[in-house]
């Protein structure tokens, strides 16, 4: 499934798309599950339904935090041996923890309420040392008009960049101009497209974003941040809730390897 050149490609570009990680039936079941959860969300768990638009989920993006807590199907996707093997092959590691996961619903709309601004995942994770990896799992076919992730190839090699933001209200072009006014970046965009169930893995420092969904249908996807035995946890920072979440292995499951291989900032998980 993962070619020998995967690590080199990932190190060069900051991302890699991997196909045939999941069975088609697993993806269909997970998509149907999300459709149900968005219409009939259970209460009484740490999972949360968060609409981005004041008019509700049909007017703009919405996300479910910790969907694995309310869906055994999604939990099984995150623990699938093929998924873990892909991460291990790309990074050359043994242990993987999902330290944050959300399921995103993006209906057809092109305004600023429905795009994701250029950003680096690492800019929101000062509580971890070293880089980490994010997995984006679309549950529908992704074409150029159905809001693919857009990567700025190789941008991860420049470290932290100024002027970006996940939920920024500026257009992607305005954000691009802001970033380029603060940083020297060779701007080469690559879009992640493919059939439902491919996985796009990206480096925590690679610039990425997505435009509005013009494809006609709702775009469902799952995104999860993954850390390994290479990352240390820094408890003294401004993200106390994230640190507590990482230490809770129900919210942040260790999906392969040994929990004892991970650093929890001086606390036993």
pLDDT value, residue 18: 95
Contacting residues for 5 by C-beta, under 8 A, at least 6 apart: none
pLDDT value, residue 122: 94
DSSP string, the chain: ---TTHHHHHHHHSEEEE-SSS-HHHHHHHHHHHHHHHHS---SSS-EEEESSTT-TTTS-EEEESGGGT-HHHHHHHT-HHHHHHHHHHHT-S-EEEEEEEEEEE-BB-SGGG-EEEE-GGGG-TTB-S--EEEEEESS-B-TTS--EEEETTGGGG-S-SS--TT-SS-HHHHHHHHHHHS-----EEEE-BSTT-EEEEETTS-EEE--B-SSS-EEEEEEEEEETTPPB--SSS-HHHHHHHH-TTTS-EEES-GGGS--TTS--
CA angle (39 as vertex; 37, 40 as ends), nearest 5: 65
Domain-by-domain residue ranges, the chain? Answer: 6-261
> What's the rounded Cα separation, in Å, for the pair 10 and 90?
7
Superfamily for domain range 6-261: q2cbj1_9rhob like domain (2.60.120.620)
pTM reported for the whole predicted model: 0.94
How would you write the pLDDT of the chain (269 residues) with one tens digit per residue?
Answer: 576 678 889 999 999 999 999 999 999 999 999 999 999 999 889 999 999 888 888 888 899 999 999 999 999 999 999 999 999 999 999 999 999 999 999 998 655 557 888 999 999 999 999 999 999 999 999 999 999 999 999 999 998 887 776 655 678 898 899 899 988 889 999 999 999 999 999 999 999 999 989 888 999 999 999 999 999 999 877 788 899 999 999 999 999 999 999 999 987 76
pLDDT value, residue 153: 97
């Amino acid at each position: 499934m993962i070619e020998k050149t995967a690590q080199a490609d990932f190190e060069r570009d900051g991302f890699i798309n991997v196909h045939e990680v999941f069975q088609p039936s697993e993806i269909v079941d997970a998509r149907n599950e999300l459709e149900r959860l968005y219409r009939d969300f259970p209460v009484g768990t740490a999972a949360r339904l968060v609409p981005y638009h004041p008019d509700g989920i049909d007017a703009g993006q919405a996300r479910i935090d910790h969907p694995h807590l309310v869906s055994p199907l999604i939990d099984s996707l995150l623990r699938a041996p093929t998924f873990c093997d892909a991460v291990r092959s790309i990074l050359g590691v043994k242990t993987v923890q999902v330290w944050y996961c959300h399921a995103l619903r993006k209906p057809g709309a092109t305004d600023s309420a429905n795009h994701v601004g250029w950003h680096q995942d690492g800019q929101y994770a000062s509580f971890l040392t070293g880089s980490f990896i994010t997995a984006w799992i679309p549950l529908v076919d992704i074409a150029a008009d159905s809001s693919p992730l857009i990567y700025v190839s190789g941008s991860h090699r420049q470290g932290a960049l100024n002027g970006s933001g996940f939920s920024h209200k500026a257009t992607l072009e305005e954000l691009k101009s802001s970033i380029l006014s603060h940083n020297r970046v060779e701007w080469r965009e690559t879009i992640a497209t493919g059939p439902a169930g491919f996985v796009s893995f990206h480096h925590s420092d690679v610039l990425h974003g997505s435009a509005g969904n013009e494809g006609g249908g709702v775009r469902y996807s799952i995104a999860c941040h993954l850390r390994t035995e290479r990352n240390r946890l820094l408890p003294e920072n401004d993200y106390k809730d994230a640190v507590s979440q990482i230490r809770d292995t129900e919210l942040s499951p260790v999906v392969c390897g040994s929990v004892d291989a991970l650093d929890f900032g001086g606390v036993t998980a």
